[in-house]
Structure 1
Amino acid sequence: MSATGIYGGKRTGVRVVVAGDRGTGKSTLISAVATEAFDRNVPPVLPPTRLPADLYNDLVPLTVIDTSSSLENSSKRNEELKRADVVVLTYACDQPMTLSRLSTYWLPELRHLGVKVPVILVGCKLDLQDEQAPMSMEQVMSPIMQKFREIETCIECSAASNNQVPEVFYYAQKAVLHPTTPLFDQERQALQPRCISALRRIFTLCDHDMDGALNDSELNEFQVKCFNAPLQPAEIVGVKRVVHEKLPDGINDIGLTLSGFLFLHALFIEKGRLETTWAVLRKFGYDDDLKLADEFVPVPSKRAPDQSVELTTEAVEFLRGIFRLFDTDNDGALQPHQLEDLFATAPESPWSELPFEDAAEITSSGNLPLNAFLSEWALMTLIDPKKSMANLIYIGYTGAPASALHVTRRRSVDRKKQKTERNVFHCFVFGPKNAGKTALLNSFIGRPFSKSDTTTTGERFAVNVVNQVGGNKKTLVLREIPEDEVQTFLSKKTFLAACDVAVFVHDSSSEHSWKRSRELLVEVAKQGEESGYGVPCLLIAAKDDLDPYPMAVRDSLGISQELGIEAPVRVSMKLNTMNHVFNRIVSVAEHPHLSIPETETRKNRKKYLQVVNRSLMCVSVGAAAAFVGLAAYRVYSARRNTSG
């Protein structure tokens, strides 16, 4: 972000960097807008120039940075370009070579530097242009703008005659405050997908009676909310007439339809009135990326590393209702197009990429059942609460954030109280390559065993609902930890803080697999002890359909007893004999004080505490005996004095 930046959702300034070939009029242009006069004797490079906030209607000050075009000053110029909010590239109208240099040098150079901001092309010295051979600006600029989409506007000006000088910086400011690219695709001449999603959400929020159209009252309320001024009846009639003439289905018997609402905004943008659409978007909380700004998505920020975030009952019930609303065929699962419709008011489907993609169970026909739908939300809330809260708002949740998200109790407190109140458990799955970790995750979300299952190269998640004895339901999140990344993860002190239970998978037919899994268990137990985030652990002996490695069976039982954890769970994903492994994982997580490996340090600490407790008990008994003796002596003494 540039030095001007954004504070509290409102931009505090715009940083304009002016660059171009030597002699194209950069410094003269800046001097002319600052002094409203033409000066033939300006310095080669001006110091930073601040234009007043009231120069333009948006009341945002501009800081204009002049740059040198010399090679020896290129490093400083490049640094300024990287800090720009908008770049003004100049050429001289009387020097055609400087125009061609824009596309052969300056614009490619900006891309090379990674400068991704709007660009304004400015032809200076318009008064010196050869009148005998005038250039058609549209004809010249069209191919350049086709190739370099970052160009926002092209304009010609003259500092000598004060012709369109203020307009240069007006367009520069406008390109930052009201950018075109997020809203409109110039090549397709259509609204951008994210813009459509945002406007669709706004339309839905304003359609209070949910009849699919904005009636006169709703349209007027929308106008007041966004622009603090009501529409006169004649203006409403005029708006409807314009829409109906160009797009008949944009108006129906009730009022303005969604297609008409979108058409109006496309019309504003095509006519250069981007500030109108941006005013609407910002009123409803959108930032320049057409996502809800941070202040519109408040989430619990103060929480310890061993606390997590879950959806409340209220939020889950809201999601159940949304699911039923879009499950139009009432088959208990959302088809891909139904899920797409559900997230049509979000910037994009939040589950279309990792780690959410393919993380939940789907039916054989590719549909998403209710449990899987809620599981995806649970996963998103666990690993990215802000994204979860934002998407709840996108799809229509209007309650307070505090009523949607719940911060769980610390895991360290759960261990002391020997119980947990969590509904979502985060399980880390460790193990060497080819041990069966990926197959375990696939089995959890109903994927059939396949010999072609490849080893996961990065982190992967799988989430599902586990039905416990008595009808109790918990959501379990399995997080596969790649063997190659274990050391990197364990080097972070708080890595295990987010873990409710750790499982260690090994190929029961392989000596190497068992030994490596045992090493990982020891490493995790040690890190948990050192960091203070010890976690319950469980061994899983996979590939039980193969001939077992005899030593692994004996050693794993011995290790389990030595560390004070449960005996290994034997499973075969190939034969689908899972031995209730997921219920057992949840059961271990539900008893957070048990199954924490007994490391030597922990054993010594327990012995020390036992000695201290015995000592305190002896002291207590001794003190009690002394107290009883003293009391008896006092009674005896009192009787003796009385009898005397």
Structure 2
Amino acid sequence: MPGGNSAAAGGKTGVRVVVVGDRGTGKSSLIAAAATESFPENVSPVLPPTRLPADFFPDRVPITIIDTSASLESRGKLNEELKRADVIILTYACDFPLTLTRLSSFWLEEFRRLEVKVPVIVVGCKVDLRDENQPISLEQVMGPIMQQHREIETCIECSAVPDVFYYAQKAVLHPTAPLFDQETQALQPRCIRALKRIFVICDRDMDGALNDAELNDFQVKCFDAPLQPAEIVGVRRVVQEKKKEGVNDLGLTLEGFLFLHTLFIDKGRLETTWAVLRKFGYGNDLKLRDDFLPAPLKHAPDQSIELTTEAVEFLRQMFRLFDTDNHGALRPTELDELFSTAPENFAPLHKGLLADCPISEGLVSHILRRYLLHKDVEKQAPWGEAPYKHAAERNTQGNLTLKGFLSEWALMTMLDPRGSLANLLYIGYGGNPASALRVTRRRSVDRKKQQTERNVFHCLVFGPKNAGKSALLNSFLGRPFSENHDLTAGELYAVNVVDQLGGNKKTLILQEIPEDGVKKFLSNKESLASVDVAVFVYDSSDEYSWKRSNELLLEVARHGEESGYGVPSLIIAAKDDLDPHPMSVQNSARVCQELGIGASVPISSKLGDVNNVFCKILSAAEHPHLNIPETVAGRKHKQFLRLVNHSLLFMSVGAAFAVVGMAAFRAYGARRNSSS
């Protein structure tokens, strides 16, 4: 595989190199030698900014070199330059050992104090002046310093000046730290995940190996040049000699693919691996770059974003592929494997884990990092935390069913469409990213057409405390009824696929709105714009519960009328297993009739008798012109608008008749004049 080219620079248009070090360590001479390609004898103490042209190095990215002074009076300017640096060259004098000691005792600590987080290239100048009677091993001296200061990219003693700035540029354009852990001498976990995703995308026949054609297509995509048959044979031979399991009868395995990149890095050819990563959309943090994802889909407040049929079919295939035991559900390990090509997302450690350890903050961070990388820490799919964690259907063993899997994706797409698309790409979606999501038709248009084309429907669940809202959500997910439950805090979702008559399947997302959160929710004028249906739950045995639910219904109905985003509504009489309160039953029927919505639906989550309520909710959402509550004030306002429209129509017709009459009179007058 050939090395990288200018494309590997990741879009960087320039590199700013700041040269620092003690006075007399040769900073200015180093810069002058690079700029003039000679070794001038007389050099100014501090040089003005020096620019090396784009064609100075193969990546064709220009370098600006900033010289600095170590004097106390120049400390403010020095600090400013350090904070603007892309990379730092830190010099010491080979003939003055104290300057070497000062690297760790002053300069590197100063960078940390200033929170300068860029690569550092340590350069030993004046090699020719070193005392030959005091030989020094660079590795022996710099090894401990580099162990303590991981920001040091490399350390060289200056024999060929251009090499110094080549390494500096390379440290910015092709950094080592994201790819390789110097301590363990292994690829970083996030790098492995990224390369694994690339391997999966290139393995089009999904047989676990890159055959000759797939390997060649990969080469053309990344480096614009095919591999010759002899080169393919050579790649296989190199891998097989060093890593037997890296090649099998089908081609280059994932182990072999990862080994090749480890080899490139070991040989100093980081630009090759970076060229591959950047071609597949990765930035320096080894996450997909923003410019690799399509721009956010523009949509009106009453439009929503869904996965396309193509994307849903891809997800079905992935579910079947990773359901290795064919039990119709994904175990946690299978789910982790599915998302093993996405950037890692570990469960947070307990806050007290290292609270009492008498060790430094840096060592704590180091231990945490090693713990996360190597211990059996619970990994998380994108749904490991609220609002996704308990939002979808699972089987009795707690494994995610196909319905639950597709439902999590539907919820993520509604709440975070860009994040959903990124995760699709991370797990290997190879289609055009723009073909994965679609914007639905406006709800106002759906209402006029009296039908909708949506596949995913958003339902708000209102009601007073202890009315049975959470029990309704649990019933939707097939969970057993529990007498004990905590009051809902924050957003709570339940999403599932609903089977309809005729075999149609639609996804319904229930979002519980806590009673004390209704006012805040409705404070946004467009809060109901994205909603397809609203349900109002009350405890049928409790008169107060009905009154409070009715108040919430009227409050939401008024908000819909004022904002123009009225939504179909349904009343649910929960706890039907208890003796109903007579007045609540009568008042419920009366209110439904007054508001022009369907009769309330009695259910009992405890008995498992939900009276087909989820199909009824879905039916209300699919008929957006029906069941929209109309208050007395709203009805009067509508009558007023109707009267105004009729008046305007009457005036328009009258004006039209007047215009026609005037035209006829003028025509009659013209004929009389012509005949006379």
- Pick the TM interval, shorter chain: 0.7 to 0.9
3-state DSSP of counterpart to 1:416: helix
Taking the aligned partners of 1:203 and 1:618, their CA distance within structure 2 comes to 71
Aligned counterpart, 1:641: none
Aligned counterpart, 2:357: none
Q: What is the aligned counterpart of 1:42 among 27, 39, 44?
A: 44
Q: What is the aligned counterpart of 1:264 among 251, 260, 263?
A: 260
3-state DSSP of counterpart to 1:282: helix
State whether structure 2 residue 277 is matched by structure 1 residue 245: no
Taking the aligned partners of 2:539 and 2:72, their CA distance within structure 1 comes to 63
Q: How does 1:535-614 map to 2 (within 5 A)?
A: 535-540=567-572, 563-566=595-598, 569=601, 571-598=603-630, 602-614=634-646
3-state DSSP of counterpart to 1:498: coil
Does the Cα contact within 8 Å between 2:10 and 2:278 map onto a contact in 1?
Answer: no
Aligned counterpart, 1:409: 441
**Counterpart amino acid of 1:308?**
S
Taking the aligned partners of 1:528 and 1:485, their CA distance within structure 2 comes to 17
Does the Cα contact within 8 Å between 2:558 and 2:634 map onto a contact in 1?
Answer: no
Q: Decide which moves more: 163-172 or 542-551.
A: 542-551
Taking the aligned partners of 1:452 and 1:141, their CA distance within structure 2 comes to 63
Query: In 2 relative to 1, CA 103–576 (structure 1 residues): closer, same or farther, beyond 3 Å?
Result: farther
Aligned counterpart, 1:14: 15
State whether structure 2 residue 188 is matched by structure 1 residue 192: yes
Q: What is the aligned counterpart of 1:214 among 190, 210, 213?
A: 210
Q: How does 1:163-312 map to 2 (within 5 A)?
A: 163-208=159-204, 210-298=206-294, 301-312=297-308
Q: How does 1:98-497 map to 2 (within 5 A)?
A: 99=100, 102-103=103-104, 107=108, 110=111, 115-126=116-127, 131-157=132-158, 163-208=159-204, 210-298=206-294, 301-347=297-343, 349-430=381-462, 437-450=469-482, 453-481=485-513, 490-497=522-529
Taking the aligned partners of 1:515 and 1:149, their CA distance within structure 2 comes to 65
Q: Decide which moves more: 586-595 or 50-59.
A: 586-595
3-state DSSP of counterpart to 2:405: helix
Does the Cα contact within 8 Å between 1:299 and 1:401 map onto a contact in 2?
Answer: no
3-state DSSP of counterpart to 1:496: coil
**Counterpart amino acid of 1:424?**
V
Taking the aligned partners of 1:260 and 1:352, their CA distance within structure 2 comes to 32
**Counterpart amino acid of 2:441?**
R
Taking the aligned partners of 1:460 and 1:77, their CA distance within structure 2 comes to 52
3-state DSSP of counterpart to 1:330: coil
Does the Cα contact within 8 Å between 2:8 and 2:271 map onto a contact in 1?
Answer: no
**Counterpart amino acid of 1:442?**
N
Taking the aligned partners of 1:106 and 1:519, their CA distance within structure 2 comes to 67
Taking the aligned partners of 2:72 and 2:464, their CA distance within structure 1 comes to 55
Aligned counterpart, 1:51: 52
Residue-by-residue CA offset, 1:562-608 (whole Å, 9 max, x unaligned): 65555555555444443444333323322323444446764443021
Taking the aligned partners of 1:527 and 1:102, their CA distance within structure 2 comes to 66
The root-mean-square deviation of aligned C-alpha atoms, in Å, is: 4.2
Does the Cα contact within 8 Å between 1:540 and 1:569 map onto a contact in 2?
Answer: yes
Query: In 2 relative to 1, CA 165–319 (structure 1 residues): closer, same or farther, beyond 3 Å?
Result: same
**Counterpart amino acid of 1:42?**
S
Taking the aligned partners of 1:264 and 1:95, their CA distance within structure 2 comes to 42
- Mark the runs of 5 or more structure 1 residues left unpaired by the alignment: 1-5, 158-162, 630-644
**Counterpart amino acid of 1:411?**
R
Taking the aligned partners of 1:460 and 1:22, their CA distance within structure 2 comes to 63
Does the Cα contact within 8 Å between 1:9 and 1:293 map onto a contact in 2?
Answer: no
Does the Cα contact within 8 Å between 1:428 and 1:480 map onto a contact in 2?
Answer: yes
Structure 1 residue 449: Cα displacement: 3.6
Structure 1 residue 183: Cα displacement: 2.0
Query: In 2 relative to 1, CA 18–595 (structure 1 residues): closer, same or farther, beyond 3 Å?
Result: farther
Structure 1 residue 228: Cα displacement: 3.5
Taking the aligned partners of 2:30 and 2:528, their CA distance within structure 1 comes to 59
Aligned counterpart, 2:349: none
Taking the aligned partners of 2:28 and 2:68, their CA distance within structure 1 comes to 8
Taking the aligned partners of 2:190 and 2:444, their CA distance within structure 1 comes to 43
Residue-by-residue CA offset, 1:600-641 (whole Å, 9 max, x unaligned): 7644430212323554676799899999x9xxxxxxxxxxxx
Aligned counterpart, 1:639: none
Does the Cα contact within 8 Å between 1:504 and 1:540 map onto a contact in 2?
Answer: yes
3-state DSSP of counterpart to 1:310: strand
Taking the aligned partners of 2:464 and 2:122, their CA distance within structure 1 comes to 57
3-state DSSP of counterpart to 1:497: coil
3-state DSSP of counterpart to 1:10: coil
Residue-by-residue CA offset, 1:199-251 (whole Å, 9 max, x unaligned): 33433444455544334454444334433344445444433332222212222
TM-score by length of 1: 0.80
Does the Cα contact within 8 Å between 1:32 and 1:39 map onto a contact in 2?
Answer: no
Taking the aligned partners of 1:103 and 1:526, their CA distance within structure 2 comes to 68
Taking the aligned partners of 1:411 and 1:363, their CA distance within structure 2 comes to 35
Query: In 2 relative to 1, CA 195–516 (structure 1 residues): closer, same or farther, beyond 3 Å?
Result: farther
Taking the aligned partners of 2:522 and 2:548, their CA distance within structure 1 comes to 16
Taking the aligned partners of 1:548 and 1:339, their CA distance within structure 2 comes to 45
Taking the aligned partners of 1:488 and 1:371, their CA distance within structure 2 comes to 32
Structure 1 residue 361: Cα displacement: 0.9
Structure 1 residue 77: Cα displacement: 5.3
Query: In 2 relative to 1, CA 400–42 (structure 1 residues): closer, same or farther, beyond 3 Å?
Result: same
Does the Cα contact within 8 Å between 2:8 and 2:275 map onto a contact in 1?
Answer: no
Does the Cα contact within 8 Å between 1:9 and 1:295 map onto a contact in 2?
Answer: no
Structure 1 residue 484: Cα displacement: 6.6
TM-score by length of 2: 0.77
Taking the aligned partners of 2:620 and 2:71, their CA distance within structure 1 comes to 69
Taking the aligned partners of 2:153 and 2:65, their CA distance within structure 1 comes to 18
Taking the aligned partners of 1:99 and 1:513, their CA distance within structure 2 comes to 77
Does the Cα contact within 8 Å between 1:444 and 1:462 map onto a contact in 2?
Answer: yes
Structure 1 residue 300: Cα displacement: 6.2
Query: In 2 relative to 1, CA 414–452 (structure 1 residues): closer, same or farther, beyond 3 Å?
Result: same
Q: Decide which moves more: 362-371 or 106-115.
A: 106-115
Taking the aligned partners of 2:584 and 2:107, their CA distance within structure 1 comes to 66
Structure 1 residue 38: Cα displacement: 4.6
Query: In 2 relative to 1, CA 205–402 (structure 1 residues): closer, same or farther, beyond 3 Å?
Result: closer
Taking the aligned partners of 2:73 and 2:563, their CA distance within structure 1 comes to 52
Residue-by-residue CA offset, 1:103-136 (whole Å, 9 max, x unaligned): 5665555556554443334445555555554543
Query: In 2 relative to 1, CA 612–492 (structure 1 residues): closer, same or farther, beyond 3 Å?
Result: closer
Query: In 2 relative to 1, CA 254–313 (structure 1 residues): closer, same or farther, beyond 3 Å?
Result: closer
3-state DSSP of counterpart to 2:297: coil
Structure 1 residue 52: Cα displacement: 1.4
Taking the aligned partners of 1:251 and 1:177, their CA distance within structure 2 comes to 31
Provide the aligned length of Structure 1 versus Structure 2.
618
- Mark the runs of 5 or more structure 2 residues left unpaired by the alignment: 1-6, 345-380, 662-676
Query: In 2 relative to 1, CA 436–124 (structure 1 residues): closer, same or farther, beyond 3 Å?
Result: farther
Query: In 2 relative to 1, CA 625–434 (structure 1 residues): closer, same or farther, beyond 3 Å?
Result: same
**Counterpart amino acid of 2:44?**
V
Structure 1 residue 526: Cα displacement: 5.2
Aligned counterpart, 1:632: none
